[in-house]
């Protein structure tokens, strides 16, 4: 179980004033649920994911994972606990092959080729075309994104965070990816947090959390929250309008 308690994150503006990006967020996520974070651009979703992953330290508040306070743990220690993150904008690794990345992610330098192929197939990539490719600028944005998702799958973590897995991915591969998330969720072996703006992904959620203006604006099961989102035609403004962020 993941528990966020009164999590806030502030940065100092150049003029010396404080900017609050996350504002007193409290949230509990039960094991093996699929939770979608959604909300308007700039609402704080990626910042929250980065705080959960240990890439930034919250200004105040605490994070508990399976009852343990992990607020002061770094990204490596959190990864060891099984928390894995697929970046919104994945990095490239010049000189590193797709095969190498998958082996590192799986923690097995002799990961069988058939297993590597399976991870790539799950994200709609043909292993023959990609296993020996370098993860450098020669790969397209959508290819790098899908390879990144394959490495998150290879880590076999207990909590998988995907930040806009749909970004830059074509319609056909996106359909394949949605099936992969759905199949993974039905195994109930990991908690999944997916940050997404896509109705197809949101439609997989056990629970939807709408984040806007650094606050949780709405939270509830899919049947309750999805109609609310779909009926909102104000481009997200109404979702954040009552937030008291300063």
Interface with ligand ATP (CB under 6 A) = 11, 19, 21, 41-47, 88
Q: Does position 47 bind Mg ion by CB under 5 A?
A: no
- Among ligand ATP, Mg ion, none, the one that 42 touches (CB under a kind-dependent 5 to 8 A) is ligand ATP
Structure tokens at 243: 């937030």
Nearer to ligand ATP among residue 117 and residue 195 (C-beta): 195
Among the listed residues 139, 199, 192, 145, the one whose alpha carbon sits nearest the alpha carbon of residue 167: 145
Residues in the chain: 246
- Among Mg ion, ligand ATP, none, the one that 41 touches (CB under a kind-dependent 5 to 8 A) is ligand ATP
Q: How far is the CB of 151 from Mg ion (least distance, A)?
A: 19
Q: Does position 46 bind Mg ion by CB under 5 A?
A: yes
Residue 85 near residue 152 (C-beta atoms within 8 A): yes
Q: How far is the CB of 200 from ligand ATP (least distance, A)?
A: 17
Nearer to Mg ion among residue 88 and residue 232 (C-beta): 88
Nearer to ligand ATP among residue 45 and residue 155 (C-beta): 45
Q: Does position 38 bind Mg ion by CB under 5 A?
A: no
Which among 15-23, 43-51, 57-65, 180-188 is the span making contact with Mg ion, rule CB under 5 A? 43-51
Residues 65-124, interacting with Mg ion (CB under 5 A)? 88
Q: How far is the CB of 109 from Mg ion (least distance, A)?
A: 33
Determine the 3-state secondary structure of 23 from DSSP: strand
Residue 20 near residue 245 (C-beta atoms within 8 A): yes
Residue 45 near residue 203 (C-beta atoms within 8 A): no
Nearer to Mg ion among residue 54 and residue 86 (C-beta): 86
Return the DSSP state at 31. T
Nearer to Mg ion among residue 104 and residue 245 (C-beta): 245
With CB under 5 A, what is the number of residues at the site for Mg ion? 3
Inter-axis angle of helices 141-155 and 98-106, to 10 degrees? 30
Nearer to ligand ATP among residue 37 and residue 119 (C-beta): 37
Long-range CB pairs of 137-142 (<8 Å, 24+ gap) are: 137/92, 137/94, 139/92, 140/168, 141/168, 142/168, 142/169, 142/170, 142/173
CA distances 80 to 107, 121, 144, 158, 205, Å, are 11, 26, 24, 10, 26
List contacts with Mg ion (CB under 5 A).
Answer: 45-46, 88
């Amino acid at each position: 179980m993941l528990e966020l308690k009164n999590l806030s994150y502030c940065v100092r503006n150049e003029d010396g004033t404080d900017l609050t990006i996350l504002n007193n967020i409290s949230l509990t996520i039960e094991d093996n649920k699929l939770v979608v974070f959604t909300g308007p651009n700039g609402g704080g979703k990626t910042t929250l994911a980065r705080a959960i992953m240990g890439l930034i330290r919250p200004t105040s508040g605490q994070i508990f994972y399976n009852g343990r306070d992990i607020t002061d743990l770094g990204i490596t220690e959190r990864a060891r606990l099984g928390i894995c993150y697929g970046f919104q904008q994945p990095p490239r690794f010049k000189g590193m092959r797709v095969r190498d990345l998958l082996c590192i992610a799986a923690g097995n330098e002799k990961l069988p080729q058939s297993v590597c192929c399976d991870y790539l197939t799950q994200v709609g990539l043909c292993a023959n075309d990609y296993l020996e490719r370098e993860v450098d600028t020669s790969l397209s944005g959508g290819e790098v994104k899908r390879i990144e998702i394959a490495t998150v799958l290879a880590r076999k973590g207990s909590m998988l965070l995907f930040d806009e897995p749909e970004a830059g991915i074509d319609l056909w591969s996106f359909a394949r990816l949605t099936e992969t998330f759905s199949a993974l969720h039905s195994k109930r072996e990991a908690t999944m947090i997916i940050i997404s703006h896509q109705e197809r992904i949101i439609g997989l959620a056990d629970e939807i959390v709408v984040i806007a203006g650094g606050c949780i604006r709405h939270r509830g099961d899919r049947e309750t929250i999805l109609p609310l989102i779909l009926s909102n035609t104000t481009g997200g403004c109404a979702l954040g309008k009552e937030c008291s962020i300063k």
